[in-house]
Structure 1
Amino acid sequence: MSTLRTALLQSSGRPGDVSHNLEVLEGAARRAAASGADVLVSSELFLTGYAIGERLHDLAEPADGPSARAVARIAAEHGIAVLYGYPERAGEHVYNTAQLFGPDGERLAGYRKTHLYGDFEREWFTPGELPVVQAELGGLRIGVMICYDVEFPEEVRAHALAGTDLLLVPTAQLHPYEFVAESVVPVRAFESQLYIAYVNRVGPEGDFTFVGLSCLAGPDGVVRVRAGGAEELVYADADADVLKESRALNPYLADRRPELYGTLADRA
C-alpha cells in the first residue's frame, strides 16, 4: 500500500498576473519536492485570480495552452504532481477548471466545476457536466472537484463509489462560511471514507474575503493538517493503509440501500 505526501498551497497569488502566479507555483513546487511531497495542490482559479470579472474570459486558455505547458514543465522539472485552477476556454465556453499534471509532466486529469456558486460564477462560467474525474497517482486513486462541489454529498459519495482515495479540492471559500472548512469537509471525508485535500484562497480580493483554513481530512474525520489565515504551504499524508483499516471499520458504504434512494433523484 502507498502513502502520498500532499502539499497544500494556501495562496491567492496576485490576481490578474498569470506570470507571477506561475512563479509562485514553481517556488512552491520546488519547496514541496524538497520536503518529499508527491503532489502539490493550489487554490481555485489560482492561475488568474478569482474576483477579476471579465478578465476571467480575457485570461482563459485552452487545456493545452501556454500556461498548461508551463505547469507541465514545472511538474517535470521538480518531479512532483501539480494541481492548479484556471479558467478554461473551450470553443465559446469558459469553464472553472482544475488540471492535474503528473511528476513526469503528463496531463492526468482535467475537471470542470459542476456546481457554480452565486451570480458571480454563473455570469462568467459554464457548468461542467462530468461529476467524477479521476487519475492514478502513487498507488492511490485521485479525484478532483472544486470548492462548492464538495458541499454536495451526492458528488462526494459518487467519488467514493468510484473508488477515489484522495479527493483534491481547490477552493475559494468565503467569510462567513468558515464552518465548511472546519466541519463540513471532515464530515464528508468520514461519511464517504476517503481523504480530502481542501485548499483555499486567503485574504481580501474584490468584494470577497477568503478565509484560508485549508486542510487535509482523513477517512476517520480527523484533520491531519490545518492552515491558518495567511499564505502558507502545509503538508500531510494520505495513507492507503489507514484507508483500508478505516473502510473495514466503517460500514457506511457497505450498509447503503441504493434501492431506496431513487425517489430522491426523481424529486429533483
Structure 2
Amino acid sequence: MKVALLQTAGTGSVSGNLDLLEAKAAEASAQGARLLIAPEMFLTGYNIGDRTEALAEAVDGPSADRAAEIAARFGLALLYGFPEAAGGAVYNAALFVERDGTRSVYRKTHLFGAGERTHFARGPERPPLLDLDGLKVGLLICYDVEFPEAVRALAEAGADLVAVPTALMAPYDIVAETVVPTRAYESGIFVAYVNRVGSESDLTYVGRSALVGPDGIALCRADDRSEALMIAEIDRQAIARLREINPYLADLRRDLYS
C-alpha cells in the first residue's frame, strides 16, 4: 500500500488548508496513494494560542464534511490534525476520514508543555487501531510517540503502521532523527511521522518527516525546511521478516513487567 506524507507550514487559514488538502489529495491519488497524512493541528495551525477554542470544530463539522468529500472524490483516506470541540472540552485531535465517509477521531493523550495543557483536555481513551484495506493502522499525535509504551501497545494489538501527525519544533530534532526510528525498530512496525515546517510566533518546526520501516530505516525523509509530498510503499511482509531477525515482541518477558 502506498502512503503519502504531507510536510507543510500550512496556509494560515482553515479554508486555505482545506484547499491545500484537496490539492495534495489529488496529487497523492494520482500516484496511487491510499492514505494521505498531514501534520498535527493542520487545519488551523498549531501555535494559535487563544484562538484555539474559537477555531475548534466537531467531527461532524463543516471542515470534516469537506474532508469527507475530498476523500470520496479521490478515493483515499485522510488523516490530519485539528482542534476538536466535544462535550464542552477542546482536544488536540486527529481525524481519520475514509473514502466512504467513515470518520474516526483520536484525542492526544500526552499533552506537551503548558501551552497544550492550557488549551486542551487530555484524551481519555486508548489510541485506536483502524483497518485500511487489511492494513492495521494505529494513531498517535506528536509527543505520544516519544513514550515507548504507546507504540508498543499498538504493536501488540496488531498494528502494521503507526501514523503520527506532529508539530515537532526546535530544539527537539533528536525525536525525528533518533526516537522515531527506534520506535519502529523496537516494535517491528512502520511509523509515519509527519511534521510541520516554518515558524509560528516563537516556534520553529524542524520538518524531517519520514516513513520509517520496521528495520528502523527511513523509506523516505524530508529535509528540515521544505514543503514536501512524499509517497512510499508499505510492505507488510517486511514486518514478518524483521521480526524473525529481531524477535523483540516474541522474546519480551511480560511476566516481569506490569
Sort the TM-score into its range (normalised by shorter chain): over 0.9
Matching residue of 1:77: 73
TM-score (normalised: structure 2): 0.97
Match of 2:254 among 250, 254, 258: 258
In the TM superposition, 1:166-205 aligns within 5 A as: 166-205=161-200
CA shift for structure 1 position 248: 2.4
**Structure 1 position 160 matched with structure 2 position 152:** no
In the TM superposition, 1:86-125 aligns within 5 A as: 86-107=82-103, 109-125=104-120
Where 2:144 maps in the other structure, the secondary structure is helix
Matching residue of 1:207: 202
TM-score (normalised: structure 1): 0.94
Residues in 2 aligned to 1:191 and 1:220: alpha-carbon distance in whole angstroms: 9
Matching residue of 1:11: 8
Where 1:85 maps in the other structure, the secondary structure is strand
**Structure 1 position 66 matched with structure 2 position 62:** yes
Corresponding letter in the other structure for 1:13: G
Residues in 2 aligned to 1:128 and 1:12: alpha-carbon distance in whole angstroms: 25
**Structure 1 position 127 matched with structure 2 position 127:** no
Residues in 2 aligned to 1:26 and 1:70: alpha-carbon distance in whole angstroms: 9
Which consecutive aligned stretches of 4+ in structure 1 deviate over 3 angstroms post-superposition?
none
Gaps of 5+ in 1: 263-268
Where 1:164 maps in the other structure, the secondary structure is coil
Gaps of 5+ in 2: none
Matching residue of 2:20: 24
CA shift for structure 1 position 101: 1.0
In the TM superposition, 1:29-48 aligns within 5 A as: 29-48=25-44
Where 2:24 maps in the other structure, the secondary structure is helix
Corresponding letter in the other structure for 1:173: L
Where 2:251 maps in the other structure, the secondary structure is coil
CA shift for structure 1 position 67: 0.6
The share of aligned pairs that are identical, in percent, is 53
Cα distance per residue 1:93-112 (max 9 Å; x no partner): 000000111123322x2100
CA shift for structure 1 position 14: 2.1
Residues in 1 aligned to 2:127 and 2:252: alpha-carbon distance in whole angstroms: 19
Residues in 2 aligned to 1:10 and 1:105: alpha-carbon distance in whole angstroms: 24
Residues in 1 aligned to 2:151 and 2:176: alpha-carbon distance in whole angstroms: 15
Match of 1:243 among 236, 239, 246: 239
Residues in 1 aligned to 2:179 and 2:66: alpha-carbon distance in whole angstroms: 34
Residues in 2 aligned to 1:75 and 1:44: alpha-carbon distance in whole angstroms: 18
RMSD: 0.9
CA shift for structure 1 position 128: 0.4
Aligned residues: 257
Matching residue of 1:265: none
Residues in 1 aligned to 2:233 and 2:164: alpha-carbon distance in whole angstroms: 15
